[in-house]
Structure 1
Amino acid sequence: MVHQTRPQPHDKNLLWSAFLGGGAAGLFVDVVLFPLDTLKTRLQAEQGFHKSGGFRGIYKGLGPQVVGSAPQAALFFLTYESIKNYAEPLVPKGAMPLVYMFGASVAEVMACLVRVPMEVAKQRKQTSLVDKSAIKILLAAYKYEGFFKGVYRGFGSTIMREIPFSIIQFPTLEFCKTFYRTKFKNNIPLDSWEVAVCGSIAGGTSAAITTPLDVVKTRIMLADRKLVKSGSVTFSKTFKKVWQKDGIRGLYAGAVPRTLWIFLGGYIFFGSYDFTKNAVYEILEEKRR
C-alpha cells in the first residue's frame, strides 16, 4: 500500500499529480463504463434506439474515447486543482463554493477543447450502422462541414451542458468531503474509497438534473449537416423541438443509463483519481527529498 502524503497548496508537485492522476482516472472510467454511454447515446438519438444500433456493437466508438479520455481529464484537473489550491489561502471559507464553481467552469472549457472532436467521432460511430474510423469521420466532418460546424460541432451545447453539470457536481463533491471529514473523521483526510463515495453522490445528482442539456447536445452533434449549415440547428431550437415532439420524456431520454453511468463513474473516477494523484505526489516528493 502506498503511503499517501496529502498535497499542499502552492506545491508544483500538486499540479503534476493532478495532471497525471486525472489522465489515468479518465481513461480508466471511460473504458470500463463505455457500454452505458453507448446505450445512453442511442436512446437520445432522433432516429430512435433500435435504428441507432440497439444493443449491437456497444463498444463502437471506443477508439476516439480512449484517445480523448486521458488528455481531457488531465487538463480538467490540472486547471481545477490549480485554481482551487491557489485560491484557498486568499478566499474566505464561506466563498469557497464560488471558487469551486468558477474553477470547474474554466476547467470544463479547457477539457472541451479535446473532448468535443472526440465526442463527435464517438457518437457518430455509436449511432452509425456503417463502420468508419474516427479519423475518417473527423476528416469528412472537416471537408463537408468545416472546422467549427463539423469537427467542433456542438462545442457551445457541450459547454452549456458541462458547466451547469460541474457547477452542481464540484460544490456537492467538496461539501460531501468536508461534511464527512468533519463529522466522521475528526478532520483526518479521507481515504480514496471515501472520496469515491462522495464522487458517486455528486456525479449521480448532477447527471440526473442536467440530462435535458445532454439530450440537446447529442441531437446537435448527430444532426444532418444540411440542417446545421442552414442555421436551423441551435440549442434553443433543438430544445424546443424535443419538447414539442416528446415532451418531458424526450428531454429525459437516456436519463437512467446516464445517471447510472455517472454514478458508477463518479465512484471509479474520483476514487482512482484521488489514489493516483496521491501516489504520484508521494513519488515526486521522494524524488525531491
Structure 2
Amino acid sequence: MNASTAQGSPSKLKFNLFAHVKYEHLVAGISGGVASTLILHPLDLIKIRFAVNDGRTATVPQYRGLGSAFTTIFRQEGFRGLYKGVTPNIWGSGSSWGLYFMFYNTIKTFIQGGNTTMPLGPTMHMLAAAESGALTLLLTNPIWVVKTRLCLQCDAASSAEYRGMVHALAQIYKEEGVRGLYRGFVPGMLGVSHGAIQFMTYEELKNAYNEYRKLPIDTKLATSEYLAFAAISKLIAAAATYPYQVVRARLQDHHHRYSGTWDCIKQTWRYEGAPGFYKGLQASLTRVVPACMITFLVYENVSHYMLDHRKRQLLARDLSEKK
C-alpha cells in the first residue's frame, strides 16, 4: 500500500485505516459466497477430484468426464455424496469472500483517501487485491484443507476418516500439527495473483464503462452488466493461474504425499506433463464462472443496499440534530 497517501503519525494512519472499515462489505461478501456455494458445490467437489487424479493413486476414483463424474458420484454415494465437504466450503467461501471484500474495500478506500469516485488504475487495484488475498488466505487456509479432504472421501471405507468439519480440524491438528492445517499455503499465496488479476480486471471494466457513460465510477450498474464483467474477469484470471490450484489441491490431498510444493510440481510434470497442471479445468470453469457471477451480483446489490441504508440513517440523524 502507498503510505504517502495518508498524513500524520503512525497512530493517525492506523486510525484513518480503520475509519474506512465498513461491515457492509463483510456481510455482502459472505452473502455472495454462501449463495454461490450452496448452488454450485457439486461442481467444486468434481473439480477437486479431477485435480488430484494423478493416475497413480488407486484410492482416487477415475471419471471419463464431467457428466460421468456427476452420475458416478450420485450412483455410488447418493445425493449427499455430491455435497461432501459443503460445510467447510460454506464457511470457507463465506468467510473468504466476506473478508476479501472487506479488506479490499478498506485498503482501496484508504488509498483513495476516502474519495470512492477517484480512479486508482490497474497497478493500485492489483496491489489492494493482492494484500487482501494474502490476509484472507492467512485466516482461512485451514478451512480449505478440511474442505479438500472431505471432498476426497470417496467411499464407505474412507468416509469414516473424518466425520465432519470440526472432527477433521481436530484430527489434522492432532496428527499433523499446524503445518497440516496450512498445507497448500505456499501455492495458495502464489494464487493471490488470481484474485489480483480478477479484481483488477473487474474494477477496470466497471470504471471504464462508467467513464464511457460519463458517470462517477462507483455508480451502481445493471444486473446484466455486473454478470458480464464478473464473467470476463474470472475467465481471464482462471486461464492465467489455474495450475497453482492443481498443485494446491494435491498438496492438501491425504491420499498422496509430496515433500513440498516443488516436489509436487516436478512429479506432476514428470508423470503427466503440461496437461497435468490443467486437470479439472473444464469442471473448474463450469463452476467458478457462474459462481463468480452469482457472488459478485449478490455482493454488489447487498453492499449498495446496506451502504445506501447507512447514508439515509446518517442523513436522518443529521437532520434531526439540526432541528
| TM-score for the superposition, normalised by structure 1 | 0.85
Q: Give 5+ residue unaligned stretches, structure 1.
A: 1-9
CA contact (8 A) 1:41 1:254 kept: yes
Match of 1:247 in 2: 273
**Alignment deviations for residues 212-259 of structure 1 (CA, whole Å, 9 cap, x no partner):** 11000001011458x4xxxx5222221111111111111100111212
1:35-64 Cα distance to aligned partner (Å, 9 max, x none): 111111000114556259943112100011
Tell me how far 1:69 sits from its aligned partner.
Answer: 2.5
Residues 120 and 14 (structure 1 numbering): CA distance in 2 closer, same or farther, change over 3 Å? Answer: closer
Cα 1:157–1:82 change in 2 (3 A) is same
Take 1:29 and 1:192, find their aligned partners in 2: how far apart are those partners? 19
Match of 1:172 among 165, 179, 201: 201
Specify the alignment match of 2:214 in structure 1: 186
Stretch deviating more after TM superposition (76-85 or 93-102):
93-102
Residue number in structure 2 paired with 1:31 = 38
Superposition map of 1:1-289 within 5 A: 15-46=22-53, 50=61, 54-55=69-70, 56=73, 57-89=81-113, 96-128=121-153, 129=155, 130-131=158-159, 132-147=163-178, 149-161=179-191, 163-183=192-212, 185-187=213-215, 189-193=219-223, 194-223=225-254, 227=257, 232-288=258-314, 289=316
Letter in 2 for 1:153: R
Specify the structure having the higher radius of gyration (Cα): 2
> Displacement, 1:89?
4.6
Sequence identity, in percent? 24
Q: Normalised by the size of structure 2, how large is the TM-score?
A: 0.77
Q: 1:94 to 1:13 in 2, by over 3 A?
A: closer
Offset of 1:277 from its aligned partner? 0.3
SS in 1 for 2:121: helix
Q: CA deviation at 1:286?
A: 2.5
2:24 aligned partner, one-letter code: S
Report the number of matched residues.
Answer: 272
User: SS of 1:33's equivalent?
Assistant: helix
> Does structure 1 conserve the Cα–Cα contact (< 8 Å) formed by 2:20 and 2:110?
no
Give the C-alpha shift of residue 187 in structure 1.
Answer: 2.2
Cα distance 1:204–1:18, how it changes in 2: closer, same or farther (>3 A)?
same
1:69 aligned counterpart, secondary structure: helix
Q: What's 1:5 paired with? A: none
Change (3 A) 1:113 1:14: closer
